[in-house]
Amino acid sequence: MAKSNGLRGVLDSLPRLIQILFIIFAGFIYGGLYRIAPLDLKAIVIGILWIITGGFFGIGWIIDIVTVILHGKPTILV
- Among 40, 42, 60, 62, which Cα is nearest to 51's? 60
pLDDT at 8: 87
- Over range 74-78, report the average pLDDT: 85
Helical axes 16-36 vs 59-71, angle rounded to 10°: 130
pLDDT at 27: 86
Q: What percent of the chain has pLDDT over 90?
A: 47
Tens digits of per-residue pLDDT, 31-68?
898 999 888 899 999 999 999 998 889 899 999 999 99
Q: List the end-to-end C-alpha distance of the chain, in Å, as a whole number.
A: 17
Spatial separation of the C-alpha atoms in residues 69 and 40, rounded to whole Å: 27
pLDDT at 5: 73
According to DSSP, residue 14 is labeled S
